[in-house]
Amino acid sequence: MNITVQEMLERRERLLGPGNPLFYDDPVHLVRGEGVWLHDADGNRYLDCYNNVPCVGHCHPRVVEALCAQAGTLNTHTRYLHENILDYAENLLAKFDVSLDRLALACTGSEANDLALRIARVNTGGEGFICTNATYHGNTTAVAQLSSIFEPVGGYGEHIRRVPWPDSYRAPNGLTGNALADAYADEVRAAIASFAESGIPFAGMIACPIFANEGLPDIPHGYMDKAIGYVREAGGLYIADEVQAGFGRSGRWWGYERSGVVPDIVTLGKPMGGGHPISGVVARGELLDNYRRHEMYFNTFGGNPVSCAVAMAVLDVIDDEGLVGNAAEVGGFVMEGFRELESRHEMIGDVRGSGLFFGIELVHDRETKAPAADKARAIVNRMRHKGVLMSKIGEHDNVLKLRPPLCFSRENAALLIDTLDEVMGAV
Ligand SMILES: Cc1ncc(COP(=O)(O)O)c(C=O)c1O
């Protein structure tokens, strides 16, 4: 580790205190980004296979230009009239199912989810929410209750039920197909019943439609249909957290399109501003309108002219550069490469993907499926030293997690696959 990095770590500890998470055993000090490439302070270049926030590529010139132009003209809080928020709302809503026709803007995914919970509570009169048992939805007090990756201080309240995420790799009792979808959906039904038994009125279920934080499972066909069917039968709402899945990541505009189950409320964040903090809630009009009749929601920064100019540029670049199609096409190519690695590296138990989002599950033994978190950690750190940035996730922390900017090319993919092949051979 060079002295500069050491000094920075000491300053962080002194100024920010302990517990501020950093990636890699040997943390990276980045100074510049461009497209799919990141550069550190020592002049090393990294292929970015991790960052979904700069979804159109790091420092995309059109996004930078939109930001600078609007910042040099006007930026205000959100209680004045401005066209940017209207133009953006029009263009963004046009990407959704027609039933999802209202937008509220905020700054982070956590805020968007917090607002979505409030909208669901006001509209259903309920308090009880279902989430999965290996997820993360953000860091406000209310949203942290839904996050099982980091347990909230004081534990979970009675109004939260955590159901098993739909894992088809470690399926219970070896179930497959419809039986597996039924088994996981029955868990949702049981959670709803347990709210009723406890006298807690039910508000709904929040889930990432591709279960990204859970480890990107191959969702058993029909699961979402059945699970959300039970939620709606009980008067609850389905909140799709698209903070990770949205904006073309899965090879479709929205993750919910994969199951075909249209949510009542959608939350957006991370890639929305390509690195600029903007997030949103898209909902059926009557839900948001009814909520606003009960509570005045105001967000100082959410939807300001600069944020909207940036978000509009991101949307335009995704369209003009055909990045949703690119995610599907290059994503398929990457999956072929990973499957080929799976045929040669015993440590790979399962390979899963959706557009340009991949999970590679590492195991010590393909029969027992014993999770190999140690190998995942070693690979992520070695890849960093080979100039490829990625991470790991999942209930057992053994799933390699890759989600490069959407402008990732076949050439980038080939470099990723070759480097991973070499590193897996060495671990
Ligand atoms: C699925 C999901 N929802 C919400 C959030 C919270 O977003 P933010 O960090 O912008 O508050 C995250 C963050 O990782 C996330 O993965």
pLDDT digits (tens, 9 = 90+) for 339-374: 999 999 999 999 999 999 999 999 999 999 999 999
Query: 137 in ligand 1 pocket by Cβ < 6 Å?
Result: yes
What are the tens digits of pLDDT across the range 269-321? 999 999 999 999 999 999 999 999 999 999 999 999 999 999 999 999 999 99
Q: CA–CA separation, 397 vs 88, rounded Å?
A: 38
- Region of 312 (left: φ > 0; alpha: ψ -120 to 50; beta: rest) is alpha
Token reading at 200: 């807690």
Token reading at 353: 């993907």
Query: 124 in ligand 1 pocket by Cβ < 6 Å?
Result: no
CA distances from 309 to 63, 83, 85, 388, 422 (A): 8, 10, 8, 32, 43
Query: 277 in ligand 1 pocket by Cβ < 6 Å?
Result: no
For residue 208, what are the contacts with CB-CB under 8 A and spacing of at least 6? 135, 214, 240, 241, 242, 243, 244, 245, 255
In which order are the strands placed within the sheet that holds 30-34?
30-34, 37-40, 45-48, 388-389
Query: What is the DSSP secondary structure assignment for residue 276, as one 8-state letter?
Result: B
Token reading at 16: 């920010």
Ligand 1 centroid to Cα of residue 392, in Å, is 16
Does position 1 have pLDDT exceeding 80, yes or no? no
Ligand 1 centroid to Cα of residue 426, in Å, is 34
Residue 207 pLDDT grade (very low, low, confident, very high; cuts 50, 70, 90): very high
Query: 359 in ligand 1 pocket by Cβ < 6 Å?
Result: no
Q: Please give the model's pTM, rounded to 2 decimal places.
A: 0.97
Buried b / exposed e over 38-66, threshold 16 CB at 10 Å, is bebeeeeebbbbbbbbbbbbbebebbeeb
Mean pLDDT of the chain: 96
Ligand 1 centroid to Cα of residue 338, in Å, is 27
What are the tens digits of pLDDT across the range 211-266? 999 999 999 999 999 999 999 999 999 999 999 999 999 999 999 999 999 999 99
Cβ proximity of 356 and 371 under 8 Å? no
Token reading at 181: 């979808």
Query: 115 in ligand 1 pocket by Cβ < 6 Å?
Result: no
Query: Apex CA 96: angle with CA 165 and CA 129, to 5°?
Result: 35
Q: CA–CA separation, 271 vs 254, rounded Å?
A: 12
Query: 214 in ligand 1 pocket by Cβ < 6 Å?
Result: no
| Mutation probe of ligand 1 site: the residue of 107, 136, 216, 393 with most atoms within 8 A of C-beta | 136
| Mutation probe of ligand 1 site: the residue of 244, 357, 393 with most atoms within 8 A of C-beta | 244
Of residues 382, 399, 380, the one with CA closest to residue 390? 380
Query: 52 in ligand 1 pocket by Cβ < 6 Å?
Result: no
Q: CA–CA separation, 88 vs 333, rounded Å?
A: 33
CA distances from 302 to 56, 65, 79, 116, 261 (A): 21, 20, 11, 15, 28
Cβ proximity of 221 and 163 under 8 Å? no
Ligand 1 centroid to Cα of residue 161, in Å, is 20
Of residues 255, 267, 236, the one with CA closest to residue 126? 236
Query: 357 in ligand 1 pocket by Cβ < 6 Å?
Result: no
Region 57-70 average pLDDT:
98
Residue 5 pLDDT grade (very low, low, confident, very high; cuts 50, 70, 90): confident
Query: 114 in ligand 1 pocket by Cβ < 6 Å?
Result: no
Residue 2 pLDDT grade (very low, low, confident, very high; cuts 50, 70, 90): low
Strand residues in 138-228 grouped as ranges (E): 160-163, 202-207
**Residue 242 half-sphere exposure, CB side, CA atoms within 13 Å?**
30
Cβ proximity of 88 and 66 under 8 Å? no
Q: CA–CA separation, 265 vs 149, rounded Å?
A: 23
**Residue 128, beta-bridge partner list:** 202
